[in-house]
Amino acid sequence: MIRTALVGFGLAGEHLHAPYLHAPDYQLIAVQSSRSEAVATYDATLPVYPTLEALLEAEQVDLVVIATANQLHYPLARLALLSGCDVLVEKPFTVTLEEAETLTELARVHDRLLTVYHNRRYTKDFRTLMSLLASGRLGTIQTFEAHYDRYRPDVQDRWREQDIPGAGLLYDLGSHLIDQALVAFNEVPDRVFCDQTIQRQGGLVDDYTHLILAFGTRRAILHIGSIVPAVGPSLTVHGTKGSYFVDEVDTKRTTYQFAQANGPLEDFPFIPGHFGDYYTDLAPAIRKRTTPPVSPKQAELVMKIIDCAQKSAKVGTWIEVD
């Protein structure tokens, strides 16, 4: 089994990573966290270390999973790579494009596997979209409009909403939508436009983001809001042959709506999706030293789009993607 260390045991570590680190592919051998009591409640047999340095010195580790605050992704991933471990980083990859490029090169030089947990490629609505594209039923995407809206009018006391590097919705939820758009279009956009603001009283970081990626004359429209009392469709995709509609993020419905050109709107069952499938796909890549589910270059491109979006929001104009 792949001997795995988990760094961070907050929301992401405890709920989005630890549940999948088990047989037959993985063995969770240790955790680095300040929440030792929470780790003990989860599994009292797991050793908990105060630092990643101490963990790596004491344990034999194949894979390090980093699920900490965003600004710690780079230094921790760098340490793990230099220690000879493969590394999975929770999204976003890093805080800056330069950090992402450095880690990608470091993994190449040291022949280590490096990947980023863009797990929303594995939702049922996105898997279904990719199936429709592969079958040709949708045709060529013309407009991709994705919303990740929520009603959270009150600012919470957590690092994601503090004025620190890597905080804010562009990093938190925007990275999901950007990755999905890039995978769906399967090409690099020409230009990026981003409008950001703080809508909630007492807010310190962006809680409203509207992002447009231009692929020639085609568009990906990505929207995230925090004061949305009643959410609308989370995903609307228009192709040259059909249109695809999903009612909300993490929909409880078992069906989506689809219509061919000039045809009626009909309901069809989703293809199943599960976050754990990411780890299922990752295991053979680690064993066979092949490309992981999310390659470093794909994750790096997400960071390039975030970098362009930040520049666009600052100057209020389109930014060319180099």
State the CB neighbour count (10 A cutoff) for residue 269.
11
**How far, in Å, CA of 127 to CA of 125, rounded?**
6
- pLDDT number for residue 231: 86
**What CATH superfamily is the domain 2-119+276-293?**
NAD(P)-binding Rossmann-like Domain (3.40.50.720)
Beta pairing, strands 242-246 & 218-225: unpaired
Structural domain boundaries in the chain: 2-119+276-293, 120-275+306-320
- Confirm whether 2-119+276-293 and 120-275+306-320 share one CATH topology: no
- pLDDT per residue, tens digit, the chain (322 aa), is 999 999 999 999 999 999 999 999 999 999 999 999 999 999 999 999 999 999 999 999 999 999 999 999 999 999 999 999 999 999 999 999 999 999 999 999 999 999 999 999 999 999 999 999 999 999 999 999 999 999 999 998 888 888 889 999 999 999 999 999 999 999 999 999 999 999 999 999 999 999 999 999 999 999 999 999 998 899 999 999 999 999 999 899 999 999 999 999 999 999 999 999 999 999 999 999 999 999 999 999 999 999 999 999 999 999 999 8
Tokens of 98: 């330069």
Inter-residue contact 297 to 149 (CB < 8 Å): no
- pLDDT number for residue 157: 86
Terminal-to-terminal C-alpha distance of the chain: 41
- pLDDT number for residue 161: 85
**How far, in Å, CA of 115 to CA of 49, rounded?**
23
Query: Which residues share a beta bridge with 129?
Result: none
- pLDDT number for residue 270: 97
* Look-up of token digits 């209020």: 316
* Options 3.30.590.10, 1.10.486.10, 3.30.360.10, 3.30.1490.20; CATH of 120-275+306-320: 3.30.360.10
